[in-house]
Amino acid sequence: MYPLSAIAATNIPMQKRVYIETYGCQMNEHDSERILRLLEGSDYLETKDAQEADFILINTCSVREKPEHKVYSALGRYRWLKEKRGVIIGVAGCVAQQEGERILSKFPLLDFVVGPQKIHHLNEILGEVEGGRRRVCEIGFEDNVSANTILPHSTQHRAFVTIMQGCDNFCSYCIVPYVRGRERSRPSHTIISEIEALVQKGTKEVILLGQNVNSYAKNDPHELTFLQLLAKINEIQGLERIRFTTSHPRDFTEEFIESFAGLRRLCEHIHLPFQAGSNTVLRRMKRGYTKEEYLAKVIKLREVVPNASITSDVMVGFPGEKERDFAQTLDLMRAVQFDGLYSFKYSPRKGTGAARWRDDIPAEIKQRRLEILQEFQRGITLRKNKALESDVLEVLVEGCSRNSPREMMGRTRCNRIVNFPGGDDLVGESVKVKIEVGLTNSLRGELCYKEEKIC
Ligand code: 5AD
Ligand code: SF4
């Protein structure tokens, strides 16, 4: 940064600052990362303080009601910054896609909205807004999924790579097919060359992203299947770990499970949302599987990859969910023993099939079911984490721990967070850590072989 006096003397423009507020899913966090990289190319640097920003972007997901509401309260919160300093304010993500012009007319302070598939136009949009030409509404779908590829300027030891966008499943509660569009897969050669470029820059772990990765390119007989794509990525020299999310249980086939163990770089972690343990509820959710089929896949996966960690998503309070349905959700959790679980209260999303039904489960019952379920899962997660005490695990070091600058934080292959004393020379390295304490949300350990690099 230049000292202020030098700026005045030489007319060097002050660095512009962007503040991004992200709510919702992993896909959105990845989009925010890409937005930052895009903006670096047009003179914006990130600030973590909205008060000093020249541009505030609220990137919000509308999959659930809570993150959607947050966008409106954020707009209220930043109004005075617009009035006082004329900051540029934009909304990105699924809420932008869904609300479009409506949100622009409701909030006169808002300069633009940009849908998830139009992010790569952000610099042009900013140009228009900065030039004071107009308020912009850039939403809609792009056929070319690769238009969204943006490489980082610096090393990312752990990088997200979108392999497909949208979803064709139309689960009855879900807004995704409406706001992210129908399934479109990126050509495999662009995915592979993006990963090769990332690895050249120092990436050790990739997380392949899509709403339904197991159906990658399902309608294109000339394209690789997801399994073939994984096999190709598995051959990339220098890449240590591959993860993917999200898998739909219906498309998570036996053939896929059987091939899993053969791919050395593939991490032993599967995120397999089950949503509900009652077949009646699953049918009304239009999930396309029964609890028995779900359980059979879990058993098969544990046979092939005994140390696989399995995480999932679940909802309580879906319309018509009876106590006995909820009890079956707990039964399924008991049978599977998930390593981690994201749990939500159902909220109706405008335009979805389920929104036509009465949201008949009272808020306090949804809350009670959620608490019972979360308490139950906490016990399982803690027990599983404690069982790892004394084990030596491979940890890919990501950076400083949140608890202390003298501690490092990394992730095991099974996606558990590990904190351990160490220096930042370890960032980006795979090290062995002996687990000393298993906690509910993380593990604590001691570095074993500092010198040893694991590939
Ligand atoms: N209400 C509550 N939770 C929802 N999810 C998706 N739609 C809704 C909704 N209408 C949850 C599902 C999904 C996760 C990303 O969000 O569990 O897997
Ligand atoms: Fe939504 Fe179902 Fe598609 Fe997942 S699979 S994104 S829940 S429609």
Is pLDDT above 90 for 443? yes
Cα 413–418–422 angle (5° rounding)?
115
Report the alpha-carbon distance of residue 222 to residue 126 in Å, rounded: 39
Three-state DSSP at 36 gives helix
Report the alpha-carbon distance of residue 345 to residue 319 in Å, rounded: 11
Tell me 14's DSSP state.
P
Give per-residue pLDDT as tens, 193-204: 999 999 999 999
Q: Is the CB of 275 under 6 A from ligand 1?
A: yes
Point out the ligand 2 atom lying closest to the alpha carbon of residue 212: 5
Q: What does the pLDDT read at residue 414?
A: 96
For ligand 1, atom 18, the nearest C-alpha belongs to 313
User: Mean of the pLDDT values across residues 437-445?
Assistant: 96
Confirm if 176 and 447 have CB atoms less than 8 A apart: no
User: CA nearest 397: which of 375, 422, 414, 372?
Assistant: 422
Return phi, psi of residue 329, to 5°.
Answer: -65, -45
Of 9 and 315, which is predicted with more confidence? 315
Q: What does the pLDDT read at residue 454?
A: 44
Instruction: Calculate the alpha carbon distances from 347 to 11, 64, 323, 358 in Å.
Output: 53, 6, 18, 11
Q: What does the pLDDT read at residue 146?
A: 57
Is pLDDT above 90 for 314? yes
Q: How far is the CA of 315 from the centre of ligand 1 (A)?
A: 7
User: Mean of the pLDDT values across residues 252-269?
Assistant: 93
Is pLDDT above 90 for 205? yes
Q: What does the pLDDT read at residue 72?
A: 87
Q: What does the pLDDT read at residue 428?
A: 94
Q: What does the pLDDT read at residue 6?
A: 41
Is pLDDT above 70 for 265? yes
Order of strands, sheet of 112-114, starting from the edge strand that comes earlier in the sequence: 44-46, 16-22, 55-59, 88-92, 112-114, 136-138
User: How many residues are given for the chain?
Assistant: 455
Confirm if 59 and 27 have CB atoms less than 8 A apart: no
**Ligand nearest to the CA of residue 351, numbered in listed order:** 1
Q: What does the pLDDT read at residue 155?
A: 65
Report the alpha-carbon distance of residue 151 to residue 198 in Å, rounded: 7
The residue to which tokens 């370890």 are assigned: 426
User: Mean of the pLDDT values across residues 410-424?
Assistant: 96
**Ligand nearest to the CA of residue 288, numbered in listed order:** 2
Give per-residue pLDDT as tens, 341-391: 999 999 999 999 999 999 999 999 999 999 999 999 999 999 999 999 999
Q: How far is the CA of 268 from the centre of ligand 2 (A)?
A: 23
Q: What does the pLDDT read at residue 8?
A: 42
Confirm if 430 and 202 have CB atoms less than 8 A apart: no
Give per-residue pLDDT as tens, 11-65: 445 689 999 998 877 778 888 888 888 887 778 889 999 999 999 999 988 888 8
Is pLDDT above 50 for 233? yes
Q: What does the pLDDT read at residue 28?
A: 80
User: Mean of the pLDDT values across residues 383-411?
Assistant: 94
User: CA nearest 97: which of 151, 140, 143?
Assistant: 140
- The 3-state secondary structure of 266-331, one letter per residue: ECCEEECCCECCCHHHHHHHCCCCCHHHHHHHHHHHHHHCCCCEEEEEEEECCCCCCHHHHHHHHH
What does the mean pLDDT of the chain come to? 90
Would you state the structure tokens that stand for residue 376, as one six-digit string? 């139950």
H or E segment and range at residue 336: helix 323-336
pLDDT interval class at 156 (50, 70, 90): confident
The residue to which tokens 């238009």 are assigned: 147
pLDDT interval class at 408 (50, 70, 90): very high
Among 98-107, 141-150, 288-297, 432-441, which is the least confidently predicted range?
141-150
The residue type at 29:
E
Three-state DSSP at 67 gives helix
Confirm if 252 and 291 have CB atoms less than 8 A apart: no
Ligand 2-lining residues (CB < 6 angstroms): 167, 169-171, 174, 176-177, 211-212, 248
Q: What does the pLDDT read at residue 224?
A: 97
Is pLDDT above 50 for 452? no
Q: Which residues pair with 309 in a beta bridge?
A: 269
Q: How far is the CA of 167 from the centre of ligand 2 (A)?
A: 6
- Beta strand residue intervals within 95-249, DSSP E: 112-114, 136-138, 158-162, 164-165, 184-185, 205-209, 241-245
pLDDT interval class at 139 (50, 70, 90): confident
Would you state the structure tokens that stand for residue 348, as one six-digit string? 């109706």
Does the bond joining 246 to the residue before it have cis omega, within 30 degrees of 0? yes
Tell me 340's DSSP state.
E
User: Mean of the pLDDT values across residues 207-213?
Assistant: 94
Is pLDDT above 80 for 453? no
**Ligand nearest to the CA of residue 352, numbered in listed order:** 1
pLDDT interval class at 318 (50, 70, 90): very high
